[in-house]
Amino acid sequence: MSENSIPNDAIDLQKHDLYLNREFSLLEFNKRVLAQAKNETVPLLERLNYLCISCSNLDEFYEVRVASVIQMASIDPKALGSDGLTPHEQLEQIAIHAHELVDEQYRVLNEILIPKLNDQHIRFIRRKEWTEAQHKWLEAYFNNELMPILTPVGLDSAHPFPRILNKSLNFIISLTGKDAFGRNSGRAILQAPRALPRIIKLPAGETDSGSADFVFLSSVIHAFVEQLFNGMTVKGCYQFRVTRNSDFFVDDDAIDDLLLAVEGELAMRNYGDEVRLEIDANCPDETVDFLLGRFDMTRDRLFLVDGPVNLNRMQEINSLLDRPDLKFIPFKPSVPATLGRNKDFFAAIKRNDILLQHPYESFSPVVEFLRQAAVAPDVLAIKQTLYRTGADSPIVAALIKAARAGKEVTVVIELRARFDEKANIDLAAKLQEAAVHVVYGVVGYKTHAKMCLVLKREGKELRNYVHLGTGNYHPKTAQFYTDYGLFSSDKELGEDVRRVFAQLTSLGKVTRLNKLLQAPFTLHSGLLEKIEREIHNAQQGKPAKIIIKVNAVVEEVAIRSLYRASQAGVEIKLIVRGICCLRPGIPGVSENIEVRSIIGRFLEHARVYAFANGGNWEVFASSADLMNRNMFRRVEICFPIENKKLHNRILQDLEVYLNDNSQAWILNSDGGYHQATRTDDEPVIRAQSVLLQELQG
């Protein structure tokens, strides 16, 4: 140590400059997603898809995160985040970064993707480029398909400014002249029903168009909007879209019925407070100011855009085009031989724990596990948590079949799974109709744990079979989310799962668990203890290393523990898809910490906590990220991977991610990211491609 260096114990680990802002970190993630739209190695239609994902992410960012900062600015304007910024200071910086991001999104669309799509004979035809045949067909389309369901609202004392639905496509229209009643306020609002397609494919035969020529709905409305205002003149027609606060609040202390409370809040979601306004960049200042005034918004939350106000809807192109040459090469997920066709899953699981890694390995064994449980005469009971399942879920079908077969079926449904609330309310009703016992977990805590328990009679013994996962019981998202799922008949693990279900469905004190770490009780303290053990081992000269793979690192106490571990010489590797509030590479604090993010074909979603433990590695998979809400405000589980073969397999997977030199982004101390690089003589390593090849082989 030099004479000018600061001893580790003299550094205040709570200093604001040791923490990155959560909201800025989320915007950085969105930049990494957008970078995939510029990546020449990604198929063209997939690049368009990444652009749409970045826009969808930004929508949710404003609906939830910015909305909460705005509320905090109103409630406690002097409150300081872990990085020392007040809510108003955060909003100022968010506006700067978000505007830069949106400008880049439209630049990528207009200057990169549209020209490249045009080169592939996929064209978005502008109004000024329509041929006579196209104009004629589109006018007929407007008259027959659009005009009957469009309802323009002229603004006057009898027609106040309408309530604008969250994220809907709208037009503000400037008019001159008078109608049949002698009225003209000069403005009208037209809301485009959500049922209308935002992109219209031109029929080649009827319009002499190419096989992949498209027109935006907004262009069609602009072209023929005057037909909605007979005898008047349209001076201008401009798109706009409003984003609203969509994170509803349920007062857990003041409710008698959670279902009714959620239903009541859900009805208001589309009309929450305005948090962002997007308007066509050609809109005159006078009209812009009029809209800003109507929505009581300042210009920092105004976005003037050069293109469609909702780029997300361009994802429709993927389903409208049969161009496999411009998409990712399809693959068929594999199924472990032990769970192949006509196998007795219970016998296979009884022999050995079985690990699935989605999407490389199929989700179908999870469905088959429940199907076999539903019809097996010696299965007495099934208990299941459901957070997100999707429409017409085969998981739900199996649970209903089991209930109708007379088995005791209990399902814990989380009603407050954000943006899936309506689907989960409908799901609860569907299950209850089939005599499934449905509960909604514990008031005040979201049930985010992913677990299934099957109780089976085998001779004189009752045996528990469990499936534990890092992701949702959703067959569709399992096709593009990376997650682990574990089947086990381990007695102690099964008993732990049974006890957690008892907590969720009944009343009682916290019971001691054998192997599981559980939030909000033992998960946080358990992880901190394991970090402390690594610190002690490093001080004793024993092998000391931590590898954590999660979606977010936010919780401050855990971050301080990781800083202390780094100071003690513990090697720390964090694989964090999205938000990371920890600053790596700070002298005297975090030189031994590397943070990387993998952005690729699949959404990295698995959570893994691995500790060297003096050379006897411990590996845990979990439903929980390293966030305050996961540690303290949710029911989560963290389960050990004890089978040596499976344990080593996960450690090998983590090494693949740590060696990725193509799709990895490395976090800098200032909060920015740079892409991992390789020397000319190093092979290209894409973690997802490596795992796909290994598990397909």
- Structure tokens that stand for 254 in this block: 């003041």
336 in Cβ contact with 312 (< 8 Å): no
- Position of tokens 């045996």? 463
User: Running DSSP on this structure, what letter comes out for residue 62?
Assistant: I
Q: Are residues 509 and 554 in the same domain?
A: no
19, 372, 469 from 579: Cα distances, Å: 12, 40, 22
pLDDT in tens, 182-208: 667 789 999 998 888 899 999 998 888
- State residue 679's pLDDT score: 84
pLDDT in tens, 481-524: 999 999 999 999 999 999 999 999 887 777 889 999 999 999 99
CATH number of the domain at 540, please. Answer: 3.30.870.10
516 in Cβ contact with 496 (< 8 Å): yes
Q: Map 96-123 to HEC letters.
A: HHHHHHHHHHHHHHHHHHHHHHHHCCCE
* Residue range(s) defining the domain that contains residue 182: 104-254+271-326
Q: Are residues 187 and 222 in the same domain?
A: yes
Length of the chain: 697
Q: Where are the beta strands (DSSP E) in 512-617?
A: 517-519, 545-550, 571-576, 593-598, 603-604, 607-611
User: Running DSSP on this structure, what letter comes out for residue 127?
Assistant: G
- State residue 4's pLDDT score: 43
Q: Average model confidence (pLDDT) for the chain? A: 91
Q: Are residues 397 and 439 in the same domain?
A: yes
For residue 549, list its beta bridge partners. Answer: 575, 608
Distance, in Å, from the CA atom of 277 to the CA atom of 240, rounded to the nearest integer, reads 7
- In three-state secondary structure terms, 273 is coil
Radius of gyration of the chain (CA): 28
User: Position 100: which residue type?
Assistant: E
Please report whether residue 61 resides in a domain.
Answer: no
Distance, in Å, from the CA atom of 605 to the CA atom of 470, rounded to the nearest integer, reads 8
- State residue 181's pLDDT score: 63
- State residue 506's pLDDT score: 83
Last residue of a domain, one of 513, 546, 571: 513
- Structure tokens that stand for 299 in this block: 């210009």
Alpha-carbon dihedral sign for residues 321, 324, 325, 326 = positive
Distance, in Å, from the CA atom of 328 to the CA atom of 70, rounded to the nearest integer, reads 40
Q: Are residues 507 and 523 in the same domain?
A: no
- State residue 88's pLDDT score: 94
Q: Are residues 497 and 353 in the same domain?
A: yes
Last residue of a domain, one of 513, 545, 571: 513
pTM as predicted: 0.92
Considering its fold, how many domains does the chain have in total?
3
- State residue 261's pLDDT score: 53
Distance from the Cα of residue 168 to its chain's centroid: 21
Q: Are residues 228 and 137 in the same domain?
A: yes
- State residue 609's pLDDT score: 98
Buried b / exposed e over 265-274, threshold 16 CB at 10 Å, is beeebeebeb
Q: Are residues 276 and 362 in the same domain?
A: no
- State residue 248's pLDDT score: 59
Last residue of a domain, one of 513, 532, 565: 513
Please report whether residue 640 resides in a domain.
Answer: yes
- State residue 432's pLDDT score: 87
Q: Are residues 554 and 678 in the same domain?
A: yes
Please report whether residue 192 resides in a domain.
Answer: yes
- Structure tokens that stand for 531 in this block: 């970090």
Residues near 290 by Cβ (< 8 Å), separated by ≥ 6?
Answer: 172, 187
User: Position 320: which residue type?
Assistant: L
Q: Are residues 122 and 181 in the same domain?
A: yes
CATH number of the domain at 225, please. Answer: 3.30.1840.10
Q: Are residues 441 and 509 in the same domain?
A: yes
Residues of the chain with pLDDT under 70: 1-9, 157-158, 179-183, 248-271, 391, 416-420, 697
Strands 408-413 and 379-386: parallel
Alpha-carbon dihedral sign for residues 99, 101, 105, 110 = positive
- Structure tokens that stand for 264 in this block: 């009541």
Q: Are residues 543 and 639 in the same domain?
A: yes
448 is catalytic: yes
- Position of tokens 């930004």? 58
Catalytic hit among 222, 448, 467, 474 = 448
Q: Are residues 291 and 374 in the same domain?
A: no
Please report whether residue 354 resides in a domain.
Answer: yes
